[in-house]
């Protein structure tokens, strides 16, 4: 097994920056909400996989994150499989913004599955689409080598994802991407991860808002219970966000954490990202 210190150095060099559009191959044509650097990271993570477990993509939208993981995994020389979870539905507004090359549906809540199946066809047999509410989904698929979390848009969901998927991560090997980690309207993510600091080592901040962690100890039921974020008072939530800011000193500036604290103060008791955002917009 690669020593932890070596993995830290490997990520500090940010080698995904060398991934080119040509390396991404068919994945480059799959629409995504990821930034270009995040897309490079996903491909590179797939390529460096050791075949120690499945890859799980929580919040797939049109399959952009899955495609980038798959294009890398296909080059890893190992057996691979991606499990993508989503409702696979889209509003017209999101469709117009993120799928400009596709005919705009007549109504909201449009089915993304036909598109996703077309986009992911190059990796047929290597991907399973889990359709529905992630909050109702269980993980029974064994060890997970790469876990991407891009759907923890409320605190109870963050707890559910941690309880179901984190125990499958392999200490010393598995990588966790918290895709929306520094978003002002999801302060429960740093609050959760700092509660699990014995289990995860931060490896890199990938702009805009993603953080990559390595699992360094098992996420036991006791640790997960202590790190739960749904039900925290605003005061406890803010104090955990401040702890996270100190934990990430040197890797992340203070500004995103300050923005999170402002959101909590401005929206007491709110634990749903879009409600914070909506309230902020209504004021602004
Ligand atoms: C930011 S988008 C994911 C973007 C995607 N990773 C990409 O590369 O473009 C978040 C996704 O999470 C999904 N999502 C949010 N809450 C969910 C839930 N409870 N169950 C299933 N999917 C959910 C949404 O449908 C949306 O597609």
Q: Any residues with CB less than 8 A from the CB of 281 and at least 6 apart, and which?
A: none
Confidence at residue 284, expressed as pLDDT on a 0 to 100 scale: 42
**240 within 8 A of 189, measured Cβ to Cβ:** no
User: 71 CA to middle of ligand 1, Å?
Assistant: 20
pTM score, two decimals?
A: 0.96
Confidence at residue 275, expressed as pLDDT on a 0 to 100 scale: 74
Q: Any residues with CB less than 8 A from the CB of 115 and at least 6 apart, and which?
A: 62, 63, 99, 102
pLDDT under 70: residue ranges of the chain: 278-284
Q: Which residue has the least CA distance to atom 5 on ligand 1?
A: 60
What values do phi and psi take at 21, rounded to 5?
Answer: -55, -40
User: Structural domain of residue 69, as residue ranges?
Assistant: 4-283
The minimum-distance atom of ligand 1 relative to the CA of 112 is 27
**Total count of domains within the chain:** 1
Best residue among 31, 61, 97, 131 to mutate for probing ligand 1, ranked by most atoms within 8 Å of CB: 61
Confidence at residue 274, expressed as pLDDT on a 0 to 100 scale: 76
**93 within 8 A of 143, measured Cβ to Cβ:** no
Quick: pLDDT tens for 115-151. 999 999 999 999 999 999 999 999 999 999 999 999 9
Confidence at residue 283, expressed as pLDDT on a 0 to 100 scale: 46
State the CATH number of the domain containing residue 118: 3.40.50.150
What values do phi and psi take at 240, rounded to 5?
Answer: -70, -35
**38 within 8 A of 179, measured Cβ to Cβ:** yes
Q: Which residue has the least CA distance to atom 13 on ligand 1?
A: 59
């Amino acid at each position: 097994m690669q020593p932890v210190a070596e993995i830290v150095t490997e990520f500090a060099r940010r080698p995904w920056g060398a991934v080119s559009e040509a390396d991404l191959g068919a994945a480059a044509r799959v629409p995504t909400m990821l930034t270009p650097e995040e897309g490079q990271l996903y491909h590179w993570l797939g390529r460096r996989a050791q075949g120690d477990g499945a890859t799980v993509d929580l919040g797939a939208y049109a399959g952009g994150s899955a495609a980038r993981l798959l294009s890398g995994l296909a080059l890893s020389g190992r057996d691979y499989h991606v499990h993508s979870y989503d409702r696979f539905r889209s509003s017209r507004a999101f469709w117009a913004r993120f799928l400009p090359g596709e005919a705009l549906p007549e109504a909201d809540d449009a089915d993304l599955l036909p598109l996703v199946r077309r986009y992911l066809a190059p990796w047929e047999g290597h991907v399973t689409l889990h359709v529905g509410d992630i909050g109702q989904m269980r993980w029974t698929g064994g060890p997970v080598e790469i876990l991407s979390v891009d759907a923890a848009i409320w605190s109870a969901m963050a707890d559910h994802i941690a309880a179901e998927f984190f125990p499958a991560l392999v200490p010393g090997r598995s990588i966790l991407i918290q895709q929306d980690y520094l978003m002002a309207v999801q302060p429960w993510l740093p609050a959760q991860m700092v509660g699990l600091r014995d289990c995860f080592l931060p490896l890199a901040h990938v702009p805009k808002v993603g953080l990559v962690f390595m699992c360094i100890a098992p996420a036991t039921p006791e640790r997960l219970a202590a790190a739960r974020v749904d039900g925290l008072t605003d005061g406890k939530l803010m104090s955990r966000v401040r702890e996270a800011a100190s934990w990430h000193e040197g890797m992340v500036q203070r500004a995103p954490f300050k923005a999170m604290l402002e959101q909590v103060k401005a929206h007491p008791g709110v634990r749903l990202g879009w409600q914070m955002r909506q309230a902020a917009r209504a004021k602004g």
